[in-house]
């Protein structure tokens, strides 16, 4: 597992949160999938390992992870909450055909917050950006 995963485990322990096998599996899935799964996606992916686990357990675990800052809950307008374990500033490209969600980084966008604070007097708490299009697999082109 990555050092980020180890840091996440340490953060849970330091927050007094018990690392149950189910919580560990949910966290592993988030870090290994490199996608932005829904709670149902996670439930379907790990339910064979935990047949008595309910989808409610997944939701409760994700809420706990969100409260301690391990995941971000995101709404991409598809009526589902998606979860991302990358909590640093980043943005998303979303394919309108297959629904794939890809992270991208563009540090210059961080300047938007200070611009808004200075020009509009807002105390900015965060911002979110999604770019929509058709991914290279769906449109038949190779990415640059």
Note whether 103 and 95 are within 8 A (CB). no
Rounded average pLDDT over 30-45? 90
φ/ψ of 3, rounded to 5, equals -65, -30
What per-residue confidence (pLDDT) applies to 27?
A: 92
Q: What is the percent of the chain with per-residue pLDDT over 70, rounded to a whole number?
A: 97
* pLDDT(72) > 90: no
More confident residue, 100 or 43: 43
What the block records as the tokens of 57 is: 């357990």
Rounded average pLDDT over 25-44? 90
- Measured CA to CA, the distance from residue 114 to residue 60 in angstroms comes to 35
Note whether 86 and 80 are within 8 A (CB). no
Which residues contact residue 63 at a Cβ distance below 8 angstroms, ignoring those fewer than 6 apart?
none
Rounded average pLDDT over 34-55? 92
Whole-number mean pLDDT of the chain?
A: 88
* pLDDT(50) > 70: yes
Rounded average pLDDT over 51-80? 90
What per-residue confidence (pLDDT) applies to 84?
A: 86
For domain 3-84, the CATH architecture is Orthogonal Bundle (1.10)
CATH number for the domain whose boundaries are 91-139: 3.30.1490.190
Q: What is the percent of the chain with per-residue pLDDT over 90, rounded to a whole number?
A: 46
pTM above 0.85? no
- Per-residue confidence band for 111, with pLDDT thresholds at 50, 70 and 90: confident
Nearest to 11 by CA among 87, 83, 73: 87
Q: Domain locations in the chain?
A: 3-84, 91-139
What per-residue confidence (pLDDT) applies to 91?
A: 86
Q: Which residue has the tokens 């485990």?
A: 9
What the block records as the tokens of 107 is: 């540090």
């Amino acid at each position: 597992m990555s050092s980020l995963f180890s840091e996440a485990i340490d953060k849970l322990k330091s927050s007094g949160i018990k690392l149950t096998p189910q919580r560990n599996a949910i966290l592993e899935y988030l870090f290994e999938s490199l996608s932005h799964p829904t709670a149902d996606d996670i439930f379907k992916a790990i339910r064979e390992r935990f047949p008595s686990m309910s989808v409610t357990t997944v939701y409760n675990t994700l809420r706990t992870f969100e409260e301690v800052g391990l995941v971000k809950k995101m709404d991409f307008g598809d009526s589902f909450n998606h979860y991302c374990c990358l909590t640093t500033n980043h943005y998303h490209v979303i394919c309108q055909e297959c629904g794939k969600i890809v992270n991208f980084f563009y540090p210059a966008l961080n300047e938007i917050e200070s611009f808004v604070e200075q020009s509009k007097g807002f105390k900015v708490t965060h911002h979110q950006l999604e770019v929509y299009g058709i991914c290279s697999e769906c449109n038949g082109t190779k990415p640059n």
